[in-house]
Amino acid sequence: MAEISTEQQLEKMREDWDQRARENARFYVNTASENWTEEEFFKSGELTVSEEILTDLGNICQGKPPGTMRVLEVGCGAGRVTRALAALFGEVHAVDVSGEMVRLAREALRDYPKAFVYQNNGRDLSVVPDLLFDFAFSSIVFQHIPSREIIENYVREVHRLLRPGALFKFQVQGDSTIETKPDDTWLGASFDERQTSDMAFRCGFEPRYRHGAGEQYFWLWFFKR
């Protein structure tokens, strides 16, 4: 296959995710059902928050009341998890490469005046106001990004916006049998344990914990040094 430039790759991500959002946003966001009701879809986001955040408040909040915290989400999709984050934390800022997803997320968050959603360029967080964040989260997003360089750029960008000591908890693809192609925006680049620690150190994080190496849901706890 012919090489494609990063610019072409980013354009493809935006187009493909816009298309998926128009076709069946809820399904492409969470493939557990092709026919989510609105209620069940957002319940599934609450479940993600229960499983990944409420069980881990020590690492995430570090003694701060959640209602006083400003948090960042990378790849918010239709606002499924963002809405549950907004119900828990004081302020939420979220980005997504797809304008269609951003439109849906804004709709989902219309009753949350302290939730802000931005369409970004697919590789950095320059659209996010220059504020300090207390926690950052990303789930089932990097598993769709076919470039390790872009994923690492996000890790570096999150580091720029977090306050020292704060956590970036995120999921990557850990199954190395997955074959990625530069123009395939569904199957993302995989990481092994060594690659995740090297990435953490290069970006100024301490890779304190990890869970699910070798699996699709490979979770990482990176603390800003």
Ligand X SMILES: C[S@@+](CC[C@H](N)C(=O)[O-])C[C@H]1O[C@@H](n2cnc3c(N)ncnc32)[C@H](O)[C@@H]1O
By the rule CB under 6 A, 96 interacts with ligand X: yes
By the rule CB under 6 A, 97 interacts with ligand X: yes
Q: Which residues between 55 and 94 bind ligand X (CB under 6 A)? A: 75-77, 80-81
CB of 145 to ligand X, least distance (A): 5
CB of 164 to ligand X, least distance (A): 25
CA distance 136 to 199: 17
Sign of the C-alpha dihedral, residues 74, 130, 117, 6?
Answer: negative
By the rule CB under 6 A, 141 interacts with ligand X: yes
Among 36, 85, 115, 122, binds ligand X (CB under 6 A): 122
3-state helix, strand, coil in the chain (%, to 5): 45, 20, 35
By the rule CB under 6 A, 128 interacts with ligand X: no
Would you say 20 or 210 has its CB closer to ligand X?
Answer: 20
Please report which helix (H) or strand (E) contains residue 210, including its range.
strand 205-211
Q: Which residues between 5 and 24 bind ligand X (CB under 6 A)? A: 13, 17
Question: Which has the closest alpha carbon to 135: 98, 91, 176, 87?
Answer: 91
CB of 32 to ligand X, least distance (A): 11
By the rule CB under 6 A, 146 interacts with ligand X: no
The set of residues, in sequence order, having a beta carbon less than 8 Å from that of 177 and lying 6+ positions away, is none
By the rule CB under 6 A, 106 interacts with ligand X: no
CA distance 132 to 146: 29
The set of residues, in sequence order, having a beta carbon less than 8 Å from that of 56 and lying 6+ positions away, is 169
CB of 141 to ligand X, least distance (A): 4
Applying CB under 6 A, the residues found at the interface with ligand X are 13, 17, 29, 45, 75-77, 80-81, 96-98, 101, 120, 122, 139-141, 144-145, 150
